[in-house]
Structure 1
């Protein structure tokens, strides 16, 4: 195998070669830099009044200016530059930008150009072999941008380092490293950086990294909060980390197993195109005893993954956070490692005076004092190989509230522990533990696997023995937070998600050390064999859930049958609603908590509906390579789609009287119930009649000889369900009138889009013809039956619909 080098890697080899410091700096250059007599001049420049810190780059503070002493042997070396916000004003970024948020990650090279040092941003995406004719073209088309340039101020007496001033890099606005995005600049109407209030706070150097903190102050007309005096001030942390010379052996990605990845292009491929491939993002784990590892023994890694807890983490939650981190050791044991991941309390200043959560030497679970309800698991990588260098898990304090509410809503009917705003510590602690485990999974390289939940039979989630052994889904990387399928009387069932068999399988696939493999290609046969061993077993399938096409890969859904699961979920919600006033009441408090929980319950009802809607026009995806039998895409069977429409007509489009609880509504709002239901039903209808969904159904009708659920049948079933009062000569309530108007308006909108500029795509499909035909059918039925309903408002309503249809079909009339 010919070794492939990235373009920038080749540039380093060509640019620096094997030159010594004396060869790099000649006498004239030293004189231009002001070094008249070597050591004397340097000591004049860097003297006893200078505050210096030795490390990767020795840093010097002299006369309130920051200087870097850059060693010659680090020129042209790969240095990872990570920019983070260390401190942030209240409300910044809508609460989703916090202390610890990463704003950029790039690899730079410090390069000498005459009497200047340039900081170049380098890319590793495009590859070429050095002796290939195309090499020069790849170089020419991947020219490195210069982030910063500084004149050489001095040389060390032995010529092993250059001294440059870098104050302007951190005190001026450099887009590549600042914390103010263009969208936030526009949002807050930022006018300019105020240099008088922007300064370098500290610079610390360590053997393999340099950490600079600097304050940036902006004048803003509309800062995040009014009390911020027209100012946005943030503390930035810049980490510069020397990437390892001994690179980790990469592992080729395979989309049948879910991994975050790094994209690459090889221009020396034998294919008649550039060879596009991906490397998985993973930590470097190498067994201490390779021979014992080969024999199947569990072996500790040379360098385990270590996570520290943020010093701000409340003491009572620390055990759950640590458990969530170390839960992954079960998966790493599947890959042959023991004690591969370790959770530690934050070190005291006496134990480690240099500890800082912003320092990329430390991976930290950050605890953020914010009203934001979320948690995330980002990581920092070496883009050359996909090696994860560091990661910070971020837990926002108010995420506790999310799980408290969800537990009450989805488990309150079945579990007495959920019937309170003060969720017992055992339950909320277990939820926190599993959230941290989920986010650590991301930081280990695993993306969401929304398809996992569809592997388990829906009714199995009502079984205590099944759920206690297998959890709610085969993967903790699915969104399956609370067991809403379980019913009252299903004693002993597990309510909170947990790690599952897919997680063990994925970690083994990505992390098992293969000592005989000399390169990524050598690993492929073994990795493929592991996939084929599990092929056809839904427990080990992967689907990210993007596109909302595959009903088996959806956020928050549980079980293989989405219709049945949503029926169970709705049955529980109907039992919860009458109890919400009692469960959310606190002596001396108002009804804000009731309003919040009730609103979230409505959103969960909408989620259950959407899980079912996705079956209509849905397509199952089973990821395969060309050497596997069977197809990748298959339309959802007709009966499943028809069952979904029956559910929607019954549970979404019938007025949800159970939800319109007067005991709740009379406590939280003077009005608005009609609008709430109208919005929910209209959204469900619009989602169902989505253009992409209808076009998939049209295409499926043409591509298969099987009995399919057609668009004509869909519209007919909807018409019979939505307008059942018309066909049964019944009175129409206000909620149903709103829904029926929404139906007519949706159909008319498609017809009217035919005339709109830029809507040629819709006009070229059968959707307009379908909607015209449906409106004509409905108009005929309305004319024949409009006077059969006894109440006046219903008759007026039918007449109004006829007028709307006529206006839509004949806009010029």
Structure 2
């Protein structure tokens, strides 16, 4: 949560309130503050006067000559297991962000994709302050509520109701020679299992299967001080906790104590039409007649050098005073380093839209010979960390100042096994059009280019950008098959979309990789300009918001700048891994390519020295891709578009997906899913693996039917049907059920036999309908009318079964044989009819 830094006076008030609640504190304050002005009392609190100096040891008795000293914003003295922090009085009252991570992990403690080097195990802001009886308090700060104007009565009220917790207390061991710093003995505290420097939440330890710390097998490896941070490295051994895989666990933990900027960065207020991560707080000043949630975009602080300010104002490109630098983990395989670096450097062009050149770059981490003091754990450094893991993923989190949203550093995690995921994606989506993808091991150039695109995507997250799932939906599907257009403009306007690769392109289109890969594109450059353009002449963030709001409103006339959240539950434009403005067309093209690939999969995956497990895994990926295409279409049925807009923009916020598009989506489901997709039952593959097509098909078809009867979807359909504000034709539940009947029971309308696979489909459908008519759990009243529709519909289906059986019997009597309906079909219909009748007798007699 977020709050602007509170003044020292505010913290004095918090201390006074705490003191007032304890008699001893009240006596101490009365004695010490008698006859002093408020300014003198404040000076005693924040400047660290020594009221009982005679009780303290001399500096030379505590800090001896045989100690090692590291100088930073806190001076660290150490000898063996003794660690002393020399904290300047000027640091008291300043905000310190403590970020804790796994530095070296145990393979036995991993839980899913958690438990690897670099994983965060704690983050909070603290502040040292002078306390009574020669003690120093460490307070944990909360930024959930805020009132920034200390001249207003509201400020005092907010502070009175937000006393900050004392997280730890440290006796002062000594003062330095000129009384400008206090010395604290930190050895025992740092070696303890404290929740400030290590696991801040018990659940994180439980997730790793850890119990209590074993002190005889735990120690501090080192504590290093830097100008704006202190790094603590501890070796910890824990007993086995919940779900253990061993008797104990040993890990290395790193705690970064980062001095937050004294000069706050100007925050930038969120605009929901531009996708940035945010931090927020309750602001009691923003709304004079209520409480507002003030939300800031998360961004790096980019400003021109003082000598370049006027050049920047004239529109000249200048280098920032402090560029964004990512170091490449030295353990990264050398052949992938150039591609990871290029993924970072590709963002340079986006920052030029914001007026900065060379604003971001990647560098190889210096070797120990080049710089013995350099460390990946140093919180001043951002890095791409290479992880030897089976996890097929990459991620780009950042650490930011909770007061303003300013990004301070980032560690991008690159998991080794992400390359297997890239291979599967590109093989299944592009092998039909790229001959280089038709193999089990890609050449280094192709894999390197795929790594580059993922690197760019993750860097985008570290710059503050969220996923933009709506971006690809702005591109006409036929443009994705236009070689000249797609190679020039790309298949999606944003690399922050989950668009992956251009699976719409067909072999005859002859599209090169330039039209298949994602790239940093129009939306990304525009979003970086919104977030990073420096406007020093604007009074404050509120005046800046007025200007930016007008700019965004005007810019969005360009549809390629549309943003759609990955959290959007209903809008079919906001989907993962979809392409184009028409899901039916795009998915049809995608399935056409899958049909080409599956025919050659045995050939393209052939490895004479191996078994068929790799082929089986790729086939599973193909099935999943097919399901993804179907899911993209399914999302268009019974849903609505959500247009994020402000009041001055034309149009409406919510509108149902057009009727014709929903009908086309149902026709696609009939054609590609309910009509048995025999092409998935590829003999050359199935005869060499234990998987069975019939079982896989049941899973696919059941997933579609369950998806169609999703409560959120059905409620939206019913709301649209009865909403008098809708003047357009809407697709109703009743019509959807009629379309499903015509598709799933097509043979009965035609008087034909039903195949084995189709009989399974009909059973799935009937079972789901009965589940909806007679739910096992209570439902809200809003669903009662929907259930009534199912009840009567199920009765109609039963009538259909009976009619089909009667008609078949009449034909049998007339011709002594029924050429159209076999025995299995008749038994199947009798079974379903009996099931409906038996279930109905419990509630309603048909």
Aligned match for 1:178, one of 198, 210, 213 = 198
Matching residue of 2:570:
549
SS at match of 1:475: coil
Instruction: Tell whether 2:539 aligns with 1:521.
Output: no
| Residue 461 to residue 77, structure 1, CA distance change in 2 (3 Å) | same
> Residues 734, 175 of structure 1: CA spacing in aligned structure 2 closer, same or farther, 3 A cutoff?
farther
Residues 622, 632 of structure 1: 8 Å contact kept:
yes
Match of 2:10 in 1: 11
- Residue 289 of structure 2 corresponds to 272
Stretches of structure 2 that go unaligned for 5 or more consecutive residues are: 16-37, 809-819
1:293 CA displacement: 1.3
Tell whether the 8 Å contact from 1:77 to 1:109 is kept in structure 2 after alignment.
yes
Q: 2: CA distance between counterparts of 1:166 and 1:381?
A: 26
Q: 1:243 aligns with which of 260, 263, 275?
A: 260
Q: Does 1:675 align with 2:695?
A: yes
In the alignment, structure 1 residue 152 sits paired with structure 2 residue 172:
yes
RMSD: 2.2
Q: Note closer, same or farther for the CA distance 1:800–1:130 as it changes in structure 2 (3 Å cut).
A: same
Q: CA deviation at 1:426?
A: 2.4
Which runs of structure 2 are paired with 1:2-401 in the superposition (5 Å)?
6-7=5-6, 11-12=10-11, 24-25=47-48, 28-32=51-55, 34-35=56-57, 41-62=58-79, 64-90=81-107, 92-114=110-132, 115-128=134-147, 129-179=149-199, 182-183=202-203, 185-186=205-206, 189-220=209-240, 226=245, 229-288=246-305, 289-401=308-420
State the Cα deviation string for residues 152-196 of structure 1 (Å, max 9, x = none): 222223222222233344333334543486555445654432222
CA change 1:762–1:200 in 2 (3 A) is farther
Segments of structure 1 that go 5 or more residues without pairing to the other structure are 36-40
1:686 — aligned with what?
706
Conservation of the 8 A alpha-carbon contact between 2:46 and 2:129? no
Contact 1:7–1:138 (CA<8 Å) still a contact in 2? Answer: no
Hey, what's the Cα distance between the residues in 2 that align with 1:693 and 1:307? 44
Q: TM-score, normalised by structure 1?
A: 0.94
Q: Could you tell which deviates more after superposition, 739-748 or 569-578?
A: 739-748
Q: In the alignment, is the contact (CA less than 8 A) between 1:210 and 1:241 conserved in 2? A: yes
Structure 2 CA distance, aligned partners of 1:62 and 1:31? 26
**CA offsets per residue over residues 512-563 of structure 1, 9 Å max, x none?**
1112113112212331232122233321111113243111111000000011
Give the equivalent residue in structure 1 for 2:842. Answer: 811
* 1:645-794 map, 5 Å: 645-669=666-690, 671-703=691-723, 704-753=726-775, 756=777, 759-761=778-780, 764-786=783-805, 788=808, 790-794=821-825
In 1, Cα distance between equivalents of 2:805 and 2:166 = 73
**Could you say what secondary structure the match of 1:445 adopts?**
coil
Residues 186, 12 of structure 1: CA spacing in aligned structure 2 closer, same or farther, 3 A cutoff? Answer: closer
Give the Cα–Cα distance (whole angstroms) in 1 for the partners of residues 341 and 722 of structure 2: 55
**Pairwise CA distance, 1:372:** 0.5
Q: Deviations over 1:684-711 (max 9, x none)?
A: 2111110000000000111213211111
CA distance in 1, matches of 2:293, 2:208: 40
Question: Would you say the 8 A contact 2:102–2:251 is kept in 1?
Answer: yes
> Which of 272-281 and 391-400 deviates more?
272-281
**2: CA distance, partners of 1:677 / 1:195:** 56
Residue of structure 2 aligned with 1:797, choices 816, 828, 838: 828
Alignment check: 8 A CA contact 1:198 1:215 kept: yes
- State how many pairs are aligned: 797
Q: Distance in 2 between matches of 1:356 and 1:63?
A: 22
C-alpha contact (below 8 Å) 1:108/1:122 kept by paired residues: yes
Q: Highest CA radius of gyration, 1 or 2?
A: 2
Structure 1 partner of 2:24: none
For residues 23 and 417 of structure 1, the distance between their equivalents in structure 2, rounded to whole angstroms, comes to 67
How far has the Cα of 1:738 moved from its partner?
2.4
Contact 1:103–1:177, Cα closer than 8 Å, also in 2: no
Q: CA 1:405 to 1:5, structure 2 compared with 1: closer, same or farther past 3 Å?
A: closer
Distance 1:779 1:23 in 2: 82
Please, which moves more after superposition, 405-414 or 445-454?
A: 405-414
- Paired with 1:763 and 1:702, the residues of 2 have a C-alpha distance of 13
- Range that drifts further, 556-565 or 417-426: 417-426
C-alpha displacement at 1:467, in angstroms? 1.6
Structure 1: how far apart are the matches of 2:403 and 2:652?
Answer: 35
2:629 alignment partner in structure 1? 608
Residue aligned with 2:508, SS = coil
**C-alpha contact (below 8 Å) 1:7/1:142 kept by paired residues:** no
Secondary structure of the residue that 1:667 maps to in structure 2?
A: coil
With normalisation by structure 2, the TM-score equals 0.90
SS at match of 1:94: coil
Q: Post-superposition shift, 1:357?
A: 1.6
> Offset of 1:454 from its aligned partner?
0.6
Distance 2:646 2:640 in 1: 18
| Cα drift, residue 469 of structure 1 | 1.4
Distance (whole Å) between structure 2 residues aligned to residue 25 and residue 549 of structure 1: 58
2:502 alignment partner in structure 1: 483
Query: How far apart, CA to CA, are the structure 1 residues paired with 2:96 and 2:287?
Result: 32
Task: Please give the alpha-carbon distance, in whole angstroms, between the structure 1 residues aligned to 2:125 and 2:7.
Answer: 10
- CA–CA distance in structure 2, aligned partners of residues 101 and 187 of structure 1: 13
- Whether the aligned pair in 2 keeps the contact of 1:325 and 1:440 (CA below 8 Å) is yes
Q: Structure 2 vs 1, CA of residues 776 and 531 (structure 1 numbering), >3 Å: closer, same or farther? A: same
Distance 1:223 1:216, change over 3 A: farther
Separation of aligned partners in 1, 2:140 and 2:694: 56
Preserved contact between residue 98 and residue 123 of structure 2 (Cα < 8 Å)? yes
